Amino acid sequence: MEFLYIISCIIALLLFVYLFVALFNPEKF
């Protein structure tokens, strides 16, 4: 179960970074 928790945290961080980049680089999306 600890492995799934780590995977979910990584996915959440990737989504956060994606949204952060999309906010500051709207021309790329």
Confidence of residue 27 (pLDDT cuts 50, 70, 90): confident
Contact 9, 1 (CB under 8 A): no
Q: Could you give the maximum distance between any two Cα atoms of the chain, in Å?
A: 39
Across 17-26, average pLDDT: 89
Confidence of residue 28 (pLDDT cuts 50, 70, 90): low
**DSSP at 26:** G
Overall size of the chain counted in residues? 29
pTM as predicted: 0.62
* Residue 29 pLDDT > 80: no
Range of the domain at 13: 1-29
Total tally of structural domains belonging to the chain? 1
